[in-house]
Structure 1
Amino acid sequence: MSDINITVTDRHGRQCASSGSAWEPKMGYSRAVRAGNTIAVTGTVGVNADGSYSDSLADQTRRSLEIIQAALEALGGRIEQVYRTRMYVTDVSLWEEVASVHGEVFGDIRPATTIVEVTRLIDDAALIEIEADALVS
C-alpha cells in the first residue's frame, strides 16, 4: 500500500481524505469522510497508482480494498472497524472471485455486505466498485 497516498483535510467540521483521484475535485467528493466516530468510504475502484487496471476481477477487488484500508487508516480507523460493505460489479456471475478476496480481508470481521450487478461503472476498465462504512471507537 506504499503507493497509495492519502491526504486529510478538515472541511466543515469533518475530516476528509483524498486519494488524489481526478474524479474527486471534478465531482466534488472525498475518498472518505470521518464525522465523529463514523467513517464512510465512497465507491472505490481497483485502479493502480499508474491509472491502469488489472484484467482480473480478483486483483481489482484486492486493490480497491487496499485503497479503502489506506483511507480508513488516514482517518484513524482500521479495516477491523468496517461494519458494512457494498460491492458493485459489472458481471455478477464472477461473484466467487469477489467473495474470495472479500473473505480474505473480512473473514473474521464479517460486516454486513451487498453485491449487485450494474451495467457499467464510470470507467469502462473498472470491473468493481466498493463502498465501506466503519465505526471507530
Structure 2
Amino acid sequence: MTFRQNISSGSAFEELIGYSRAVVTGDWVFVSGTTGYDYKTGEISADVAEQADQTMTNIAAALKDAGASVSDVVRVHYILPDRDDFPKTWPVLKKWFGDVRPAATMVQSGLMKEEMKIEIEVTARTGCGGNTQ
C-alpha cells in the first residue's frame, strides 16, 4: 500500500486555501509552487535573485521534512511575471541545481502578489540524488 504524507511550512495560505507545501507518496515528493518569503519574518526581498535563493531555501526545508533533498529533484518549473528577470536568477539556480540538472521549464505568468518575482515548483524522487549518468 502506498502512503501519503502532507508537509506544511506553517504558511497561513496553506490552511486558508487548503493545500500542502509538499506531498509525499511512495518515493515521490511534490513541492507546491513556492515563493521567496522568509517564513520567519514574513518579508520578501525586492531583488529577484535574492527571492530565488530564499525560495530554494524554503524548498530545501520542505524536501528535508519529506525525507528528500535538492539532489533528489528531477523536475522544476519556474514561473516569473517578467521573463527578463530569469537570467538574473541563473547564478542562484546553478548554485542549487548545477550538479543535479533536473528537467526544467520556465513560464511567464502573473503571480498572486505584486512583490513576488519568482515562484518555483519541484518534483523529487527520494533515493535518486547523485545517481546520474
Compute the TM-score of the two structures, normalised by the length of structure 2.
Answer: 0.90
1:21 aligns with 2:11: yes
Give distance in 1, aligned partners of 2:91 and 2:12: 30
Higher strand share: 1
Partner of 2:23: 33
> d(CA) in 2 for partners of 1:99 and 1:41?
20
4+ runs deviating over 2 angstroms: none
Shift of 1:85: 0.5
Q: Secondary structure of 2:115's match? A: coil
Q: For 2:94 and 2:50, locate their aligned partners in 1 and report how far apart those are by CA, in whole Å.
A: 14
Percent of aligned pairs with the same amino acid: 37
Give the RMSD, CA atoms, in angstroms.
1.3
Partner deviation per Cα, 1:19-60 (whole Å, 9 max, x = no partner): 111110111100001000000000000001211110100000
1:60 aligns with 2:58: no
Q: Distance in 2 between matches of 1:123 and 1:19?
A: 19
Q: Does 1:121 align with 2:111?
A: yes
Q: Counterparts in 2 of 1:1-137, with a 5 A limit? A: 13-48=3-38, 49-118=40-109, 120-137=110-127
Secondary structure in 1 matching 2:19? coil
Q: Secondary structure at the match of 1:33?
A: strand
CA distance in 1, matches of 2:113, 2:13: 10
Cα distance in 2 for partners of 1:121, 1:133 equals: 20
| Length, aligned pairs only | 125
Three-state SS of the structure 2 residue aligned to 1:131 is strand
Match of 1:8 in 2: none
1:117-137 superposed Cα distances (whole Å, 9 cap, x missing partner): 11x211221111100000012
CA contact (8 A) 2:3 2:26 kept: no
**Structure 2 unmatched ranges of 5 or more:** 128-133
SS at match of 2:116: coil
Contiguous gaps of at least 5 residues in structure 1? 1-11
Local SS of the residue matching 1:85:
strand
